[in-house]
């Protein structure tokens, strides 16, 4: 069988990995390159690559849609909280402002500690909100009917 000789340039990292693979498998570098080239040029492999790429893109699209939904929930949550806070907060008299700042620092510290614990445990508020939202608001967990709020 005659073979064509080619002089190719490849990245040093690829050359290193090719050499390691040839040693590990106990085959020549030429045979590895020939097998890779045959797989790349095979008509069947093109369709398989396209199918695999389409599946990956679909999965990425679904992940992106979930991220976008979660981000919108977060934005709405913060916006509603800010609106509520600004609407119901009363001004603090000058004499009480230092105590209010100290209380704010303490609350913020507690908030950061709780956030750190939740993140370490892998708990997410959005998951809890989704679970609560999926339960019908007029049906309590015990199954009894509750009168809807007026």
pLDDT tens digits, one per residue of 4-22:
888 989 999 999 999 999 9
Measured at the CA of 41, the angle between CA 35 and CA 42, to 5 degrees, comes to 85
| CA dist., res. 144 & res. 115, Å (int) | 34
pLDDT tens digits, one per residue of 19-49:
999 999 999 999 999 998 888 788 776 677 7
> 29 with 36: CB under 8 angstroms?
no
What value does the CA radius of gyration of the chain take, rounded to a whole number of Å?
30
| CA dist., res. 108 & res. 10, Å (int) | 55
Q: Is the pLDDT of residue 145 over 60?
A: no
Q: Is 11 exposed, middle or buried (0-12, 13-18, 19+ CB in 10 A)?
A: exposed
Helices 43-88 and 125-134 meet at what angle, rounded to 10?
A: 90
């Amino acid at each position: 069988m005659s073979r064509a000789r080619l002089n190719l340039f490849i990245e040093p990292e690829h050359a290193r990995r090719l050499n390691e693979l040839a040693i590990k498998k106990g085959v020549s570098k030429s045979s590895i390159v020939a097998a890779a080239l045959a797989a790349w040029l095979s008509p069947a492999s093109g369709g398989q690559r396209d199918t695999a790429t389409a599946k990956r893109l679909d999965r990425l699209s679904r992940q992106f849609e979930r991220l976008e939904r979660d981000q919108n929930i977060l934005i709405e949550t913060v916006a509603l909280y800010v609106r509520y806070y600004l609407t119901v907060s009363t001004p603090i008299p000058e004499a009480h402002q230092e105590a209010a700042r100290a209380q704010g620092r303490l609350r913020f510290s507690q908030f950061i500690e709780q956030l750190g614990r939740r993140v370490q445990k892998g708990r997410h508020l959005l998951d809890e909100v989704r679970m609560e939202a999926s339960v019908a608001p007029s049906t309590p967990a015990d199954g009894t009917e509750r009168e809807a709020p007026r």
